[in-house]
Structure 1
Amino acid sequence: MSAPPPDAVTGVVLAGGRGTRLAPLTDRTSKQLLPVGGRPLVARVLGQLVRAGIADVLLLIDDRHAGDFLRVLRDGRDLGLRSLGYVWQPPSGAGMAAAIARAEPHLRTDRFMVACGDVLIDAPLGPSVRAFAAQPDGALLVATRTADTAGYTPLRVEDGRVTALGDKDPDRHGPGWTDLGCYLYGRDAFDHVRSLRPSARGEVEIWDLNRRYADAGTLRYKEVKGWWCDVGTSREVYRRADERYKSNSRF
Structure 2
Amino acid sequence: MIDTAMILAAGRGERMRPLTDKMPKPLIPVGGKPMLEHTIARLKAHGVVNIVVNAHHFAEQIVDRLKGRAHVIVEDRLLDTGGSVKNALPLLGDKPFFVLNGDGLWRDGPADPALNRLEGRWFSDRMDALLMLQPLHKVIGREPKDRGDYFIEPRGRLRFRGQAPLSPYVFASVSICQPRLFRDSPDGPFSLLQLWHRAEAEGRLHGVIHDGEWFHIGTPQALATAESFFKERVPG
TM-score (norm 2): 0.84
- Which of the residues 5, 22, 29 maps onto 1:11? 5
Please list every run of 5 or more consecutive structure 2 residues that lacks an aligned counterpart in the other structure: none
Q: Does 1:30 align with 2:24?
A: yes
Name the counterpart of 1:79. none
Q: Match for 2:131: what amino acid? A: L
Cα 1:109–1:50 shift into 2, 3 Å: farther
Quote the Cα distance in structure 1 between the aligned partners of 2:9 and 2:135: 25
- SS of the equivalent of 1:58 reads strand
Name the counterpart of 1:128. 118
Name the counterpart of 1:116. 101
Alpha carbons 1:140, 1:220 under 8 Å: kept:
yes
- SS of the equivalent of 1:44 reads helix
Shift of 1:22: 0.6
Q: Deviations over 1:83-112 (max 9, x none)?
A: x11112234x24211121111121234111
- Which of the residues 50, 67, 85 maps onto 2:60? 67
Please list every run of 5 or more consecutive structure 1 residues that lacks an aligned counterpart in the other structure: 1-6, 77-83
Cα 1:126–1:53 shift into 2, 3 Å: farther
Q: Deviations over 1:189-239 (max 9, x none)?
A: 2215338xx9xxxx62222211111111111111112311122x1111012
Name the counterpart of 2:152. 157
Shift of 1:243: 2.8
- Which of the residues 177, 185, 188 maps onto 2:169? 177
Name the counterpart of 1:52. 46
Alpha carbons 2:31, 2:230 under 8 Å: kept:
yes
Alpha carbons 1:89, 1:102 under 8 Å: kept:
no
- Which of the residues 135, 146, 166 maps onto 2:161? 166
Identity of aligned residues (%): 20
Cα RMSD (Å): 2.5
Q: Match for 1:117: what amino acid? A: G
Quote the Cα distance in structure 1 between the aligned partners of 2:162 and 2:48: 31
Shift of 1:160: 3.0
Shift of 1:162: 2.8
- SS of the equivalent of 1:71 reads helix
Quote the Cα distance in structure 2 between the aligned partners of 1:150 and 1:142: 21
Quote the Cα distance in structure 1 between the aligned partners of 2:159 and 2:202: 11
- SS of the equivalent of 2:185 reads helix
Cα 1:190–1:95 shift into 2, 3 Å: same
Shift of 1:165: 0.9
Alpha carbons 1:145, 1:178 under 8 Å: kept:
yes
Quote the Cα distance in structure 1 between the aligned partners of 2:163 and 2:11: 19
Q: Match for 1:181: what amino acid? A: S
TM-score (norm 1): 0.80
